[in-house]
Amino acid sequence: MARYGFVIDLKRCYGCYTCQVVCKAANHTPKGIDWARCVQAETGSFPSTLRQMLPMVCMQCAEPACLEVCPTGATQQDENGIVTVDQDLCMGCKYCMMACPYGSRQVVDAWETYFPDAEGALDPYEAYARKKWDEKYGSGVATKCDYCMDRVKQGLQPACVEACPSKARTFGDLDDPESEISILIRREGGFQLNPEFGTDPSCYYLPVR
Amino acid sequence: MSPQGVKEDVWIPTSCGGCYAQCGILAHRVDGVLVDLTGNPETPAGSGRICGKGVAQLHTLYDRHRINYPVKRTNPEKGVHADPKWQRISWDEALDTIVSKFKNMKDRRGCYFQATTVQTSEIRFAIPAFMRSFGFKNYWVSGGGLWCGNGAHFMNGITHAAWSIIPDWTYNNYTLYFGCSKGHGAGHAALQSSQWVADARARGMKAVVFDPFLSTQASKAHEWVPIRVGTDAAAALGMLNVILNEIGQWDEEYLKLKTNAPYLIGPDEHYVRDRDTGKPLVWDAGAGRPKTFDDASIQDYALLGEFEAQGVKCQPSFALLREHVKKYSLERVEEITSVPASTLRRVAHEFVEHAQIGSSVKIDGQTLPLRPSAAIFFRGSQGHVNSGWNCLAIDLLNQVVGAADVPGGAMGHGPPVCHGHPDTGKPETIPYTCKDGLMIVKGWVYDHKPYPLREPKPPTRLDLQDMFPCSVYNAFTIMSPDWEKYLEDFKIDYRPEIMINFGSNSVMTMGNAEDVTENFLKKFGFVFSFNIYQNEFTEAVADIVLPDCSFLERYTPCVTFPSTFCHPTGMDHWVWQIRQPVVDPLFERRDFNEVMLELAKRLGIQEKYYAETNKLIPVRYGGEMSPEYALDPKGDYSWQDICDRVLKDRLGPDKGLEALKQTGLEKWPTKVEEMYWRWFVSVRIPIYFEFFKESGEKARKLCASFGRENIQDWSFYRPLAEWFPCPSHEETDPDFDLTAFSWRPSFHTQSSTQNNPWLDEISVNDPYVYLIQLNEDTGKAKGLKDGDDIWVENKLGRRIKGPVRLVQGMHPDQLGIAGCHGHWARGTPISRDKGQFFDDLVIVDEKHTDSLTQGTDACVRVKIYKA
């Protein structure tokens, strides 16, 4: 029993999009599906301008907005606080997509190749990735980041944490006050994104300056 | 067989080829299919991390648009946008045609090799060995002139014995960035640098970024200083003026012992030399008389003052530099750069304060100077008429405070000093001195060392590059509509005949596509090309295209030496990494190296090829070859045999190819004497570039003897650093009110990655990469809205179109475009029409070329209007 959480250090992140790409490789997400997208935008005015990088993951909220709207009970919360989707129960109504204030859910309407202009059969990698995806998710159901639980169960870090070139991401147990993420949040003023949504996210950010 | 029916599940160690950082990676193969790429935790080159561009290579390996079979052009019409009408042919037909073209050449010197920068190891010896054995000298590393570096590499070679410089983030507290993104995804030890700079930032390291736009590094910095492109030397010399003449602080000991600052300079701007030995003289302030620079009895080197030696009035070069920089008053510099004088003055003060001149640190029992300030630069600084001097002027900041190759300072990336593997002593690269005491690199990436300068001689190359003293790449001749006139005037008695292209796309990386194609590439009667995609180059001009292996399908004996961009700074490990196939090549793809070896054999030049390989290995990988592993000219070797011999020779008999395939690498700890080498190696470097003057004078006379004295501006060949303007800085037409520049997103590598669907996906979502960036107030004043399509037009009427992104993070006079996008090749449909092709605006001619290094000026004065 734990409450799994993320800390993303905005001081360290420089917006290279590695998280976004590595997530695709690790989870075989199809075209257009990004569970770990990195949003970038500019704030301030010349010359006191800042380019903000905001890498996103599922917030695994303690009070998930997606959970209460799910009509079939497909959305569940496991004992470690990870919000999951039972693909057999999900009917693809997209209520959860609308309810999630962080845009963390996506539905694949129909699997598409990345190479629409190419002739012939899928290449060996895309064929492999499609098979993996179909085994776990398929089309017409809600999908989302689950902090790479398959990897975590094997003792590995989530893929985006392992790869992050600037070590901006830390994964751990929010319930353990001595975990690295708990210490980081306390010591460096970790904050939740839009806490006013009232969902109590498990992903914390460390301030950019 | 596992329960799931999986027959194979393996992780193979190899090296990434997504950019030139060459990080160590692990390739996950399941039942013969590559299914994942991750970082290899065993190597310091990446230290277990991987970037998005690296992971995305999964798709490049299997991309269904790749070339799988040899093809020939059936449409004889060549040109930008031409449809070659490819026809599949057999390897036999392809190689027979190529061999017969080679054999029927009028003059073998008319060959030209063009290669990509990314597959660094192939260009170290396999290509030069072929060139030397077949007998030609024409060579171009694609993008070298425009996307890579003349000024930076050459000048870093002179002052740091290295291809590049990078801060020592272990100790650095203050870095000035000029037009570079090291530590923010750039391929300079990309993954380690990212971690180390983030660590440094977290502990309070400050970065001040001089850039025309709010780049990634500027976003992460303590301070962004908007500056006009190409004015870096003016800013640096202005700050040097503050340091030397207002603050009056410098590292005396460093300047006296590690530079030519004390060398006496006569009225002729040359060293005053000892009559007997010819050695440069210094003034011994203790003895009150001149002595040769290396006289052991010197009590104190004078850095300032006026003296008389050998009957002439003279001054130490440092005194001249100090006087010289007074020209760069901050008021004048503000006018040139647009950076407020108060900002420059403050930053100069901060730079000196953070340098902590006089402080020291103990590392591994050795006490070393600690200088935690660094000034670094790369592409942005050097892509200008003032390429060479921009780089040298910035580096002078490091030199005057002694922050060069010591803890905390600006480090020769590599580092350039290597004592070799403990078992073999190779690669061994320790710089040594010329007779004047100045540093000469040992082992170098390029054929000509940065110093001593190349002796100007009548040219033998088609680009005339070998006539210039400091040139690395030279495009203004070959891209000119008057190329033939250059060849005639300089009495080149042969003409272009065959181009061999390895992986490059020069139609998109040298300048305007029409100019490259019409003036240069179409002059070759026969072009054959090794590529993984049909790109703008192959479609425009290639006659035969051979399906190359990607870096995940080939063997390479070494990717981390010569150490250009692979090793981290700070105490870590040296690593010798190989590449190996992680899957068997699909279809009829064949490795470039094997094909070139076969061509050498079929042309009957393999004996020479082996002999030249034996000569190149010692230069590139430091140290003579042992007879046991040198190639026997009478032998018969496969590419894997050659890899095996190189490995055993450099690393030991038990570390051949089979052994390295298991680990992917061999590593050993770096020593303090290597990483922080400056005070361990008895060499000086110039702060006064006495030798430029003489060299330039020789080159001028040489060019005059061919009737082309004005081919370059010889006033660039001077001893003291200067800022020279680009044509863009001198434009007076009020319609052309913006200066356009290009920048390199970290998630693309020049023109080679845009067809990757994952990288395209992030580029589409990125708010900058596929858009033209313009200052919001400037744009609004022109009646533009965010997202409007605009034309960007240069003085020649050449224009490119794209949606504008109005941003606050852009200098009001400037306009930024991410480089190398806007592809149009049929062979790469994912990349087609995404982003803009900046190079189409670049003007390549004598005026837009650095007269010192022949680097191409990549900033362009433009006007914009709604499309």
pLDDT, tens only, A126-137: 999 999 999 999
Cα–Cα separations (whole angstroms), residue B81 to B77, B510, B794, B824? 10, 17, 21, 7
Which residue in chain B has the smallest CA separation from A43?
A: B808
* A 6-25 → B contacts, CB under 8 A: 9, 11-12, 14-22, 24-25
Amino acid present at B555: Y
Amino acid present at B301: Y
Cα–Cα separations (whole angstroms), residue B615 to B132, B266, B560, B607, B621? 11, 42, 19, 13, 11
Q: Tokens 């269904």 — which residue?
A: B64
Nearest-CB residue to B216 (from A15, A20, A162): A15
Contact of A1 with chain B, judged by CB distance below 8 Å, is answered with: no
Q: Is the same domain home to B477 and B619? A: yes
Residue B599 confidence (pLDDT) above 70: yes
Asked if B194 lies within 8 A of A165 by C-beta distance, the reply is: yes
SS3 (DSSP) at B763: helix
Strands B772-775 and B814-818: antiparallel
Strands B498-502 and B526-531: parallel
Residue A77 confidence (pLDDT) above 80: yes
d(CA B463, CA B519) in angstroms, rounded, equals 12
Nearest-CB residue to A51 (from B65, B190, B219): B219
SS3 (DSSP) at B377: strand
Q: Is the same domain home to B237 and B348? A: yes
Is the pLDDT higher at A108 or at A201? Answer: A201
Residue-level pLDDT at B6: 66
CATH label of the domain that carries residue A15: 3.30.70.20
Q: Is the same domain home to B354 and B250? A: yes
Asked if B52 lies within 8 A of A44 by C-beta distance, the reply is: no
- Nearest-neighbour CA in chain A from B781: distance (Å): 15
- Nearest-neighbour CA in chain B from A101: distance (Å): 20
- The dihedral built from the CA positions of residue A75, A76, A82 and A84, taken in this order, carries a sign that is negative
Which segments of B144-239 are extended strands (E)? 165-167, 174-178, 206-211, 223-226
pLDDT tens digits for range B21-52: 999 999 999 999 999 999 999 999 998 999 99
Residue-level pLDDT at B2: 44
Averaged confidence pLDDT in chain B: 95
What tokens were used for B293? 């620079």
User: Contact at 8 Å (CB) between B310 and B290?
Assistant: yes
Percent of chain B with pLDDT over 90: 91
pLDDT tens digits for range A149-160: 999 999 999 999
Residue-level pLDDT at B443: 81
CATH label of the domain that carries residue B331: 3.40.228.10
pLDDT tens digits for range B44-97: 999 899 999 999 999 999 999 999 999 999 999 999 999 999 999 999 999 999
User: Contact at 8 Å (CB) between B575 and B533?
Assistant: no
Q: Is the same domain home to B97 and B129? A: yes
Residue B726 confidence (pLDDT) above 80: yes
Contact of A91 with chain B, judged by CB distance below 8 Å, is answered with: no
Split at pLDDT 50, 70, 90, the class of B1 is very low
Q: Is the same domain home to B536 and B625? A: yes
Q: Is the same domain home to B484 and B559? A: yes
CA torsion, ordered B740, B744, B748, B752, to nearest 10 deg = 70
- Nearest-neighbour CA in chain B from A92: distance (Å): 24
Asked if A49 lies within 8 A of B808 by C-beta distance, the reply is: yes
Q: Is the same domain home to B191 and B304? A: yes
- In DSSP terms, B465 is beta-bridged to none
Q: Tokens 């998109």 — which residue?
A: B508
B781 burial class (0-12, 13-18, 19+ CB within 10 angstroms)? exposed
pLDDT tens digits for range B600-639: 999 999 999 999 999 999 988 999 999 999 999 999 999 9
Split at pLDDT 50, 70, 90, the class of B570 is confident
Split at pLDDT 50, 70, 90, the class of B826 is very high
* B 200-259 → A contacts, CB under 8 A: 201-202, 214, 216-220, 224, 226
* B 747-766 → A contacts, CB under 8 A: 747, 757-759, 761-762, 765-766
Asked if A40 lies within 8 A of B197 by C-beta distance, the reply is: no
Contact of A131 with chain B, judged by CB distance below 8 Å, is answered with: no
Interface test with A, best of B8, B30, B31, B50 (most A CBs within 10 A): B50
- In DSSP terms, A38 is beta-bridged to A55
pLDDT tens digits for range A31-66: 999 999 999 999 999 999 999 999 999 999 999 999
- In DSSP terms, B366 is beta-bridged to B363
d(CA A53, CA A14) in angstroms, rounded, equals 7
pLDDT tens digits for range B512-544: 999 999 999 999 999 999 999 999 999 999 999
* CA atoms within 13 A of residue B399's CA, in its CB half-sphere: 29
Asked if A126 lies within 8 A of B62 by C-beta distance, the reply is: yes
Asked if B809 lies within 8 A of A45 by C-beta distance, the reply is: no
Whether residue B717 is contained in a domain is answered as no
Nearest Cα to A145, choosing from A16, A54, A22?
A: A22
Cα–Cα separations (whole angstroms), residue B500 to B33, B112, B397, B521, B804? 32, 6, 42, 11, 38
Per-state percent for chain A, helix, strand, coil, to nearest 5: 25, 20, 50
Residue-level pLDDT at B527: 98
User: Contact at 8 Å (CB) between B166 and B422?
Assistant: no
* B 815-844 → A contacts, CB under 8 A: 829-830
d(CA B83, CA B584) in angstroms, rounded, equals 31
Nearest Cα to B460, choosing from B185, B138, B159, B176?
A: B138
Nearest Cα to B437, choosing from B250, B722, B688?
A: B688
CATH label of the domain that carries residue B803: 2.40.40.20
Asked if B35 lies within 8 A of A125 by C-beta distance, the reply is: yes
Nearest Cα to A170, choosing from A153, A188, A196?
A: A188
B725 burial class (0-12, 13-18, 19+ CB within 10 angstroms)? middle
Q: How many CB atoms lie within 10 A of CB B4?
A: 8
Residue-level pLDDT at B120: 67
Number of domains in chain B: 4
**CA-based radius of gyration for chain B:** 26
Strands B165-167 and B573-577: unpaired
Averaged confidence pLDDT in chain A: 96
Residues A180-188 have a mean pLDDT of: 98
Asked if A38 lies within 8 A of B64 by C-beta distance, the reply is: no
Dmax over CA atoms of chain B, in Å, equals 92
Contact of B59 with chain A, judged by CB distance below 8 Å, is answered with: yes
Asked if A12 lies within 8 A of B776 by C-beta distance, the reply is: no
- Nearest-neighbour CA in chain B from A141: distance (Å): 22
pLDDT tens digits for range B673-696: 999 999 999 999 999 999 999 999
Q: Is the same domain home to B77 and B135? A: yes
Chain B hits for A45, CB-CB cut-off 8 Å, are 808
- Nearest-neighbour CA in chain B from A70: distance (Å): 29
Nearest-CB residue to B808 (from A31, A44, A128): A44
Residue B253 confidence (pLDDT) above 80: yes
Q: How many CB pairs under 8 A join A and B?
A: 157
Chain A hits for B195, CB-CB cut-off 8 Å, are 165-167
Asked if B807 lies within 8 A of A42 by C-beta distance, the reply is: yes
Chain B hits for A49, CB-CB cut-off 8 Å, are 214, 224, 807-809
Cα–Cα separations (whole angstroms), residue A5 to A171, A175, A197, A200, B136? 6, 9, 18, 11, 61
Whether residue B415 is contained in a domain is answered as no
Q: Tokens 């200098």 — which residue?
A: B811
Q: Is the same domain home to B487 and B522? A: yes
Q: Is the same domain home to B787 and B667? A: no
User: Contact at 8 Å (CB) between B497 and B483?
Assistant: no
Q: Is the same domain home to B106 and B173? A: no
Cα–Cα separations (whole angstroms), residue B420 to B15, B423, B426, B646? 21, 8, 4, 14
pLDDT tens digits for range B158-183: 999 999 999 999 999 999 999 999 99
Asked if A16 lies within 8 A of B184 by C-beta distance, the reply is: yes
- The dihedral built from the CA positions of residue B763, B765, B771 and B774, taken in this order, carries a sign that is negative
Nearest Cα to B177, choosing from B128, B130, B218, B118?
A: B218
Which residue in chain B has the smallest CA separation from A24?
A: B758
Split at pLDDT 50, 70, 90, the class of B4 is low
Split at pLDDT 50, 70, 90, the class of B333 is very high
Contact of B345 with chain A, judged by CB distance below 8 Å, is answered with: no
Least confident of A97-111, B135-149, B627-641: B135-149
What tokens were used for B441? 């690199």
Strands B86-88 and B439-440: unpaired
Q: Examine the fold and report which residue of B629, B653, B672 is the final residue of a domain before the chain moves on.
A: B672
> Domain span at residue A128?
4-206
Cα–Cα separations (whole angstroms), residue B295 to A113, B317, B435, B498, B690? 73, 18, 13, 55, 21
Which segments of B163-311 are extended strands (E)? 165-167, 174-178, 206-211, 223-226, 264-265, 281-284, 289-292, 307-309
Residue-level pLDDT at B107: 98
Which residue in chain B has the smallest CA separation from A161?
A: B49
Number of domains in chain A: 1
Cα–Cα separations (whole angstroms), residue A26 to A36, A38, A145, B253? 11, 16, 11, 54
d(CA B228, CA A172) in angstroms, rounded, equals 46
Residue-level pLDDT at B143: 65
What tokens were used for B29? 């193969």
> Domain span at residue B750?
727-866
Whether residue B328 is contained in a domain is answered as yes
User: Contact at 8 Å (CB) between A30 and A111?
Assistant: yes
Chain A hits for B776, CB-CB cut-off 8 Å, are 46
DSSP B281-315: EEEETTTTEEEETT-TT---B--SS-EEETTEEEE
Nearest Cα to B388, choosing from B156, B728, B180?
A: B156
ipTM: 0.98
Asked if B214 lies within 8 A of A166 by C-beta distance, the reply is: no
Interface test with B, best of A10, A13, A18, A167 (most B CBs within 10 A): A18
- In DSSP terms, B501 is beta-bridged to B114, B529
Whether residue B521 is contained in a domain is answered as yes
Interface test with A, best of B4, B19, B49 (most A CBs within 10 A): B49
Asked if B55 lies within 8 A of A21 by C-beta distance, the reply is: yes
User: Contact at 8 Å (CB) between B785 and B805?
Assistant: no
Residues B189-216 have a mean pLDDT of: 95
Residue-level pLDDT at B243: 98
Nearest-CB residue to A125 (from B33, B224, B768): B33
What tokens were used for B310? 């050998």
Q: Examine the fold and report which residue of B355, B383, B410 is the final residue of a domain before the chain moves on.
A: B410
Q: Is the same domain home to B508 and B611? A: yes
Residue-level pLDDT at B150: 81
Asked if A166 lies within 8 A of B198 by C-beta distance, the reply is: yes
* B 362-421 → A contacts, CB under 8 A: none
Asked if A162 lies within 8 A of B48 by C-beta distance, the reply is: yes
Asked if A124 lies within 8 A of B62 by C-beta distance, the reply is: yes
- Nearest-neighbour CA in chain B from A113: distance (Å): 10
CB burial readout A143-164, b (16+ within 10 A) else e: bbbbbbeebbeeeebbbbbbbb
B627 burial class (0-12, 13-18, 19+ CB within 10 angstroms)? exposed
With a CB cutoff of 8 Å and minimum separation 6, the contacts of B479 are: B510, B511, B512, B515, B516, B519, B520, B844, B845
Whether residue B720 is contained in a domain is answered as no
pLDDT tens digits for range A84-105: 999 999 999 999 999 999 999 9
